[in-house]
């Protein structure tokens, strides 16, 4: 029996993410349970968008099935969510949004339109429709630089510049490490939302050449508002475990700013479309036709020869 996806929480109603490490994940009724040395904790997986699975986690096949059946994305990551290794599937069963995205991405004129709309979305109240991509890129640089400055002033944290090395994480100062951790969490949540809505993570419009190019595009819409303030605040409020403080403040910031509600709305505006909601009537798929565009699948077309 195909799963009726309409009974699942919509993306905009979901919780954002949960990070787990050094535990056992097993199926529990129709959900999953986390087992640690201190006890057992049920996880409301049907209400989650992404489950970040860190080091030291043992998970059963039944638990993975429950996670996927509930429309939650499983992401295998490094310690504290800082590195991305692999992911499970999202909940959408349609390629409608992917086809729209690919159409715009592969046409140079349409690509430019979407890239400009992704920049324009960041500057409400500023008339920048006639600006070039180069001008918009410069305006974005100013916006990010000012965001760092404001966050530093609000928290009293000293700020020099954005600087970090992937090969030597500990050389970065606390605020740069907090920025990297917060952005990694934002990338995971955006990736889960993108895949759940049926888009491709690799077909970027501002970023290009990476399998997560579109994730970076979408995440950049929210960094100045969410992860930059969180990073500085986490350093100020940290009592020892900076990564944990970043996760807690990210979760609160994403909830307060309605991140999972805004992503579908922003993408719908950018692509000038409406949020796609999966329909189980499309479970058999459709067939491409050079004359009629799309025809019904799941039936025998032998009679078409006559």
Tell me how far the alpha carbon of residue 97 is from its chain's centroid: 15
Comparing CA positions, the residue from 181, 228, 243, 201 lying closest to residue 73 is 201
Q: Is the pLDDT of residue 74 over 70?
A: yes
Out of 12-16, 99-103, 124-128, 205-209, least confident range: 12-16
Return the pLDDT at 276. 45
Q: What is the mean predicted confidence (pLDDT) over 185-207?
A: 87
- Reduced to 3 states (helix: H, G, I; strand: E, B; else coil), residue 231 is helix
Highest mean pLDDT among 50-59, 69-78, 143-152 belongs to 143-152
DSSP letter at 27?
Answer: E
Q: Are 213 and 202 in contact (CB under 8 A)?
A: yes
Return the pLDDT at 10. 52
Is the CATH number 3.100.10.20 carried by domain 5-87? yes
pLDDT in tens, 159-175: 988 876 666 656 778 99
Q: What is the mean predicted confidence (pLDDT) over 111-126?
A: 90
In the chain, CATH 1.20.120.920 covers 96-270
Separation CA 7–CA 277 (nearest Å): 12
Side-chain-side CA neighbours of 265 within 13 Å: the count stands at 8
DSSP letter at 299?
Answer: S
Helix (H) or strand (E) segment spanning residue 32: strand 31-36
pLDDT band at 205 (very low <50, low <70, confident <90, very high): very high
Q: How far is CA 12 from CA 8, 16, 120, 265, in A?
A: 11, 9, 23, 9
Separation CA 19–CA 67 (nearest Å): 14
Q: How far is CA 250 from CA 35, 87, 257, in A?
A: 24, 21, 10
Burial class of residue 95, CB neighbours in 10 A (0-12, 13-18, 19+)? middle
Q: What is 96-270's CATH topology? A: 1.20.120
- Reduced to 3 states (helix: H, G, I; strand: E, B; else coil), residue 262 is helix
Return the pLDDT at 266. 93
Separation CA 127–CA 92 (nearest Å): 36
Q: Are 97 and 198 in contact (CB under 8 A)?
A: yes
Task: List the strands of the sheet with 73-77, edge to edge.
Answer: 15-20, 48-53, 73-77, 84-87
Helix (H) or strand (E) segment spanning residue 110: helix 108-120
Q: Are 236 and 156 in contact (CB under 8 A)?
A: yes
Tell me how far the alpha carbon of residue 249 is from its chain's centroid: 17
Q: What are the b/e assignments for 124-161, b being 16+ CB within 10 Å? A: eeeeeeebeeeebeebbeeebeebbeebbeebebeeee
Count the neighbouring beta carbons within 10 Å of the beta carbon of residue 174: 15
Instruction: Name residue 76's beta-bridge partners.
Output: 53, 86
Q: Is the pLDDT of residue 135 over 50?
A: yes
- All residues at 6 or more sequence positions from 10 whose CB lies less than 8 Å from its CB, including other chains: 277
In the chain, CATH 3.100.10.20 covers 5-87
Separation CA 64–CA 31 (nearest Å): 10
């Amino acid at each position: 029996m195909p799963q009726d996806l309409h009974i699942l929480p919509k993306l905009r109603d979901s919780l954002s993410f949960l990070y787990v490490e050094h535990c056992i994940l097993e199926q529990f009724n129709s959900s999953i349970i986390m087992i640690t040395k201190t006890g057992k904790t049920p996880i409301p997986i049907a209400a989650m968008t992404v489950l970040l699975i860190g080091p030291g986690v043992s998970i059963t096949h039944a638990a993975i099935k429950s996670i996927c059946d509930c429309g939650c994305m499983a992401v295998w990551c490094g310690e504290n969510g800082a590195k991305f290794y692999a992911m499970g599937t999202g909940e959408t069963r349609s390629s409608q949004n992917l086809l729209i995205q690919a159409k715009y991405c592969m046409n140079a004129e349409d690509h430019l339109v979407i890239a400009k709309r992704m920049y324009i979305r960041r500057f409400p109240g500023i008339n920048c429709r006639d600006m070039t991509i180069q001008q918009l890129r410069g305006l974005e640089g100013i916006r990010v630089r000012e965001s760092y400055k404001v966050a530093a002033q609000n928290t009293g944290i000293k700020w020099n510049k954005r600087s970090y090395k992937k090969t030597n994480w500990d050389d970065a100062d606390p605020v740069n490490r907090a920025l990297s951790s917060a952005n990694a969490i934002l990338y995971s949540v955006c990736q889960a939302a993108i895949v759940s809505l049926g888009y491709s993570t690799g077909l970027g419009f501002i970023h290009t050449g990476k399998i997560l190019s579109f994730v970076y595009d979408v995440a950049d819409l929210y960094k100045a508002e969410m992860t930059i303030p969180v990073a500085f605040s986490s350093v100020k409020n940290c009592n020892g475990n900076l990564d944990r403080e970043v996760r807690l403040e990210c979760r609160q910031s994403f909830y307060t700013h309605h991140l999972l509600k805004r992503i579908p709305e922003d993408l719908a505006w950018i692509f000038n479309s409406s949020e796609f909601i999966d329909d189980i009537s499309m479970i058999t798929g459709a067939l491409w036709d050079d004359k009629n565009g799309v025809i019904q699948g799941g039936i025998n077309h032998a009679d078409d020869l006559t």
